[in-house]
Every structure is written in C-alpha cells, then in structure tokens.
Amino acid sequence: MQEKTLSEHAKSLRSGEYSSLELTQHYLDRIEAHQSLNAFISVTAENALAQAKRADEALQNNAENLNRLTGIPLAQKDIFCTQGVLTSCGSKMLENFISPYDATIVERLNQSGMVMLGKTNMDEFAMGSSNETSYYGPVRNPWNTETVPGGSSGGSASAVAARLAPVATASDTGGSIRQPAAFCGLTGIKPSYGRVSRYGMIAFASSLDQAGVLSRSIEDGAMVLQAMSGFDDRDSTSLQAQVPDYTSELSQSIKGKTIGLPKEFFGDGVAADTADKIQQAIRQLESMGAKTIEVELPNSALGIPCYYVLAPAEASSNLSRFDGVRFGHRAKEYVDLNDMYEQSRAEGFGDEVQRRIMIGAYVLSSGYYDAYYIKAQRLRRMIAEDFSKAFEKCDLIAGPTTPSTAFVLGENNDDPIAMYLNDIFTNSVNLAGLPGLSVPAGFDQKGLPVGLHLIGKYLDESTILNVAHQYQMETDWHLQIPGGFA
C-alpha cells in the first residue's frame, strides 16, 4: 500500500479498494513500527483517524467534486502551527506550546481533505543541516541509520523515505528541503519566495524562509504544492500572482530546454562519486533533448558568508518573542525580569540557536551594522544579479544539491563551518528568492543517495518541475526503497 503514488491512492480511495481510515491506520502502524528513526515529534493518531473518517464520508457522498488529495495522509513539519497540537519547532522553548491556530498551509491542506498523521522532527527552529540540533534528539536516515537525514527538515525526509508517510511538508531557508531530499533519496521542492504563505510557519529568517514539499516523486510533490500555494492576505510577502497548474505541465517534452551549468558548482569541493552521478544525470537530460551550456555565478562562493550574516540577523530578532512572558519555556527560578529573560532563553534554546542569535545580534549592533548587515545585503543583490544574468542564457540551472552524501551522526558536530558548507549550493537560491528542487540521481560508493539540484527562474517552478518529472520518467532512482522499509 505504501508504495503507491498520490494519484494511485486517490484512485484506490475512490474505487473503494481501501478507505482513508485503512490507509491512515496503515501509516500509523508503520510510524509505530519505525519509532527508532525518531522522525516524529508528535503522532496525532486520534485526530488523523477522525480526519480520515470524515474524508471517507465525503468520498462516499461527493467524490467527483473533491480535491484529489482527499483522504491521503501527510506529515507536517513541526515548524507549522497546528491548532490544538504541540508545535515545538524542535525546541525545548516550545515544549509546551499547543498552537491555538492553524498555519495557512495547514488550513489549506486540511481543506483539501488531507489527513495529518503527526508533526515531524526538525533541527531546532530550522537551524541545522543534520537534524542533530533538535531538542527531541537526532533523526536517522533510513538509507543508513548511522547517518543523518539532513536538515532542517530531517524528520519529514526520514518519514517519507521510510514510507511512514506518503508525503510531508517542509521548509527551506538555506537548503532545508533540498539537502534532506538529497540525503534521503527524495524529491524536495522549494518554490519561489512568496509563492506559499508563511503565516503560521514559525519564522527563522523571514526573507529566506519558504515552505515546500518532500515527496517521492515530482508528480506527488506538485499535487501537494498546488494545494499549498497562492496568495494569502495574512502574509504581506505572499505574492498575488496566479499559481500555474503544476501537474498539467509536467508531461511536456524537455526538448530544446537549455540547462545552465555553473562552473562554480562543479569544482573541487564536490565529492568525486557525487560529481560522477550528477554528470550522468546531465547526460541523461541531454539524451532527452535538453541543451547544456556553461554559465557563471561568480559570487556564489560568497553565498555562505552572506547567508550566515543575514539569516542570523533576522533570526536574532524573530526569536526575541520567545521570552518566557506569554508562552513557551519560562525558567523556574529567577531574581528579576532580566534574569527571567536570561534564564528562560539560556534553558530554552540549544547551542546552535544561541550561536545564531549571538551572531545575529552582533551583526546588527551599532558600529557593525554597515560592515556586516549592509555589506551582506549588497552581496545578496549581486548574487541575485548573477542568477539573472545566467538566466539570460538558459531556462534552468543544474548542479549537485550537496557537495557530498549523508554523513555519519556526530561527524560535523564540533565544526559549525563544515556543517554550514552543506548548504553551499542551496542557500544562494534562497538569497535570490528562486525556486529550486532536488531529485534523486543515483547512489554514491557508500550506497547513499545523490541529489540533482535544479534551479528555476523566479516564479517559474513549472520548468524545473517539468524537467525533473521527465527525468523521473526516464530513471528509477526515485523508486528505490531503503532496505528494511519496503
């Protein structure tokens, strides 16, 4: 049952082959059986079964007019506020936070009839690339449980890869959808900034955060993305642009599409076996009729320093609301107001979050603002302009999603810079606000998945979805199942 695509589930639910209740129970059982992956922070079985029941009733009464997603289960990343359910964002700070409201995307996916199985584990406040900063413990990668699933959407990635959920929501500030997708052999889509509402998604870096999907295929991902996307008047950065019909555009041929290959993405920093797989994937795309052309992204090396000034700056301010006054963790003992703030925040936030708050407060402080924040903003514009120039010559850009495959748990824990370099190819895409995705492109010598990264023009998810889907029509990397999870 768990090998079916979303369209197949939709068909089966309508034909009566199985009910949403049965399907939901099946996934709940799998979640229970594979708890050792630690993919979930909360499993909302009771709610899920109730939602499934309602979906079944609706399907019986009025199947034609219902969204295709009706009755299909999904997992929500714990960064999205879900009414009446713990929304921890992977932090001790929100260990007791039962959200009184639904995020816009949660509301939309509920309206589309999807069934929420639970909330997935994640790096604390989405700050991390291995899921090891979670207060709820590390998540394991189903392809090799000694390795990390990537982060910050590690729980969502692990859950979908292990078939504990057919699809999961995720969020991406510098690569948090695409890097776990690459590490777990999944399809991960981060749409253009502004495409999906941020209302109810706990903010890390507001100008970079974007919700998206982790799925097994482009087709599945496109279906869910469609349901999530579109203007929301509660988010001033949400776009009033028409959302294309993503699924209907998947079947077009990619003949004549020009793929830009930035030479900066194919240098020494990439592991040889990863690079090989990416080259193979590009040859595959060429054999399908796409043209390739070398392009330049001369400032891409500055993406990491730029990102690690701007993202912490915004985070330091976004996380100020976690002060122990109205909700969240409050220290038991304190002598005065300042002490309450200090103790509550020191106890509630983990090391990586504290590190980024301190970096962020530093780069915004008077006397340093121009040297860091303003300079980084200038770099950000240069990086975006590089992409614009490259896109004058091509329809999309391709490269590896990550420099190497999943690493062993604990390997990068003492070296934040090594950890940050995981996102070297992905975070410039967030800085430029562009859509990007990762699709499975084979396995390295250790048998771990390699991700192919496609980057589109602003608001042009359609092209990369189309190319990636056509690639999946010709390859079977995305159909591989990690051993023990069939």
Partner 1 sequence: MATTTWEVVIGLEVHVQLQTKSKIFAGASTAYGAEPNTQACDVSIALPGVLPVMNKEAARLAVKFGLSIGALVNQRSIFARKNYFYPDLPKGYQISQFELPIVGKGELEIETDKGTKVIGITRAHLEEDAGKSVHEGFNHSTGIDLNRAGTPLLEIVSEPDMRSASEAVTYLRKLHTLVRYLDISDGNMQEGSFRCDANVSVRPKGQEEFGTRAEIKNINSFRFVEKAINYEVDRQIDLIEDGSEVVQETRLYDSEKDETRSMRSKEEAHDYRYFPDPDLPAMVLEDSFIESVRRSLPELPEKRKDRFIQEFSLSPTDADKLITEKETANYFEAVCEKTMAEPKIAANWVLGELTAALNQENLSIIDCPMESSKLASLLDRIADNTISGKIAKEAFSLLWSGTDSVDKIIEDKGLKQITDTGEIEKIVDTILQTNSAQVDQYKGGNPKVFGFFVGQVMKQTGGKANPKQVNEILRNKLD
Q: Which of 12, 19, 130, 152 is catalytic?
A: 152
User: Is the Cβ–Cβ distance between 178 and 143 less than 8 Å?
Assistant: no
**Coil, strand, or helix at residue 400?**
strand
Distance of CA 477 to the CA centre of its chain: 20
Q: Which of 258, 255, 253, 257 is nearest to 289 (CA)?
A: 255
First to last CA, the chain: 10
Cβ of residue 300: shortest distance to partner 1, in angstroms? Answer: 22
- 6 vs 379 by CB, closer to partner 1: 379
The amino acid occupying position 37 is L
Binding site for partner 1 (CB under 8 A): 80-81, 87, 89, 94, 97, 99-101, 103, 198-203, 205-207, 233-237, 313-314, 316-317, 319-323, 325-327, 337, 341, 361, 364-366, 369, 373
Output phi, psi for 81, to 5 deg.
-70, 130
In angstroms, give the least distance from the CB of 436 to partner 1.
Answer: 20
d(CA 155, CA 148): 10
Kindly give, in sequence order, each residue whose CB lies less than 8 Å from that of residue 182, ignoring residues fewer than 6 positions away: 150, 188, 400, 401, 402, 405, 438, 440, 449, 450, 451, 453
User: Nearest approach, Cβ of 423 to partner 1 (angstroms)?
Assistant: 19
Q: From the candidates 20, 42, 77, 129, which is the catalytic residue?
A: 77
- Do residues 195 and 435 make contact, with C-beta atoms less than 8 angstroms apart? yes
Instruction: State how far the Cα of 221 lies from the Cα of 237, in Å rounded to an integer.
Output: 23
Give the residue with the Cβ less far from partner 1, 93 or 250: 93
Q: Write the DSSP symbol of residue 415.
A: -
Side-chain-side CA neighbours of residue 247 (13 Å): 13
The tokens for 474 are 């010709």
Kindly name the residue from 176, 238, 428, 462 that is annotated as catalytic: 176
77 flagged as catalytic: yes
In degrees, rounded to 5, the angle at the alpha carbon of residue 212 between the alpha carbons of residues 25 and 349 is 85
Tokens of 18: 């199985």
d(CA 153, CA 190): 12
Rg of the chain taking only CA atoms, in angstroms: 21
The pair of structure tokens assigned to 396 is 């999309």
Which residues have CB under 8 Å from 195's CB, separation 6+?
210, 229, 230, 239, 241, 243, 435, 459, 461
Query: What is the smallest separation between the CB atom of 180 and partner 1, expressed in angstroms?
Result: 21
Contact 136, 91 (CB under 8 A): no
Q: How far is the CB of 204 from partner 1 (least distance, A)?
A: 11
How buried is 83 (Cβ within 10 angstroms: 0-12 exposed, 13-18 middle, 19+ buried)? Answer: middle
Which one, 234 or 393, has the nearer CB to partner 1?
234
On the CB side of 433, CA atoms within 13 Å amount to 17
CB of 113 to partner 1, least distance (A): 23
Q: In whole angstroms, how close is the CB of 176 to partner 1 at the nearest point?
A: 16
Q: Is 207 an annotated catalytic residue? A: no
Of 152 and 438, which has the nearer Cβ to partner 1? 152
The CB-of-164 to partner 1 minimum distance in angstroms stands at: 25
* Dihedral of the alpha carbons of 292, 297, 301, 306, in degrees to the nearest 10: -130
Phi, psi of 190 (to 5 degrees): -110, 110
Provide the minimum distance between the beta carbon of 422 and partner 1 in the complex, in angstroms, as a whole number.
24
Nearer to partner 1, 15 or 366 (CB): 366
Q: Which residues are catalytic, by number?
A: 77, 152, 176
